[in-house]
Amino acid sequence: MTNLKDRLVERLECKEAVIGIVGLGYVGLPLMLRYSDIGFRVLGIDIDPGKVARLNAGESYIEHIPAERVAAARDGGFEATSDFARVAEADAVILCVPTPLNKYREPDMSYVINTVEALTPHLREAQVVSLESTTYPGTTEEELLPRMEGQGLTVGEQLFLVYSPEREDPGNRDFETRTIPKVVGGHTPACSEVGLALYRPAIDRVVPLSSTRAAEMTKLLENIHRAVNIGLVNEMKVVADRMGIDIFEVVDAAATKPFGFTPYYPGPGLGGHCIPIDPFYLTWKAREYGLHTRFIELSGEINQGMPEYVVGKLMEALNQQGKALKGSRVLVLGIAYKKNVDDMRESPSVHIMERLRDRGADLAYSDPHVPAFPAMREHHFDLESVPLSPASLDEYDAVVLATDHDRFDYDMILAHARLIVDTRGIYRGTPADTVIKA
């Protein structure tokens, strides 16, 4: 059986292997492009026929990924399909599917489980399966392993199983798929060897770990670290505001210390697929061991309260002008979860918009990266982006600066908006009666 492992490792190292990527979103699509760029044949699998059609036409549906790169991959042999039976053609199968939370803030593993159950009838000898979706420690062993071995193949001898968490940061020009180190943990030593052979051709630095559980926990620690520190600075923002202190000035000053401090900046809440969600995967799993992750849960409580805090600051500001929020015209600036991208996943802007709508505000938004409010699983607005101009800004009682895109003309906004609720510190130090820090 060792020959199966050696044969697969050799095919990966010689770039003769076919790479199958399941889930062609913000994680899977850049990974596909990387493997295609270095000469692998890549097969993409996605349940969305619209995505499949666009990719096979050489088009991109993610703003920061140029269509030219997709077309070049297609011309180099990349093909997208919705047919899970074709996984048999792949030597490596990389799963990049969503792992959201349900309405009880518990892990929703349905995407992973449904994907694995669709794939397993078509798995064969000498394949490696790598899960990249962020999840709780134990997922790979508890959910993937039994389903894979249920087909009669032994993992570690005939099939190989690894966990390697995605670390994509959409819109970050300082890092790309190749330059972000890749953590890999295998179910067995043979699985680890195959996993390293899978990623080493594509990634500059691959970091081996002792197990899939250690790799799963590593991803959670990375994002819990950020969530807790953002929660801390968001709490300090509220305290500083009550004391009449500019928290952004304080963070900038603390960041001049060359050791022992890492700057985190406050905002309107957490966004993106990872930081608002991943900590709750560990809190949920910890309960199985009779443990309560109070630190994590407290930071989550603070961060989830930020959209309500922003709305409260807006209501106070309107009240000072003798206006109620109900019936006021409010323009939300930026609805992507972070600057300079079109990624809407878990965006705090959307939670702010829902609270404003529920309180009777006449709502609009402007975002140069999101021309129309997209179809989302839980959030629904029939809105299109409002072009910014002195005349359009004058139509609104207030604007809420929720996402600080570089393409906004902040001088024009300051000159013509009647009231600005600034959640990002863009107007820090700006003496203006119309700017409210939130």
Task: Reply yes or no on whether the pLDDT at 2 is more than 70.
Answer: no
The tens digit of pLDDT for each residue in 5-57 reads 999 999 999 999 999 999 999 999 999 999 999 999 999 999 999 999 999 99
Pair 164, 199: CB distance under 8 Å: yes
Among candidates 312, 309, 357, which has minimal Cα distance to 332?
A: 357
Non-local (6+) Cβ contacts of 286 within 8 A are 292, 293
> For the domain with range 2-211, which CATH number is right: 3.30.830.10, 3.40.50.1470, 3.40.50.720, 2.40.50.100?
3.40.50.720
List the catalytic residue out of 14, 96, 191, 274: 274
Question: Does the structure show a pLDDT above 70 at 396?
Answer: yes
Residue 138: per-residue pLDDT: 96
Q: Which CATH fold topology does 251-269+305-437 show?
A: Rossmann fold (3.40.50)
2-211 with 251-269+305-437: one CATH topology? yes
Q: Is 245 left (phi over 0), alpha (psi -120 to 50) or beta?
A: beta
Which residues make Cβ contacts (< 8 Å) with residue 74, sequence separation at least 6? 55, 56, 58
Query: Percent of the chain, pLDDT > 70?
Result: 99
pLDDT at 173 over 90: no
Active-site residue, 191 included: no
Mean pLDDT, residues 309-323: 97
Question: Global pTM?
Answer: 0.91
Domain boundaries, the chain: 2-211, 251-269+305-437
The mean of the pLDDT values for the chain is: 94
Cα–Cα distance for residue pair 58/396, rounded to 1 Å: 41
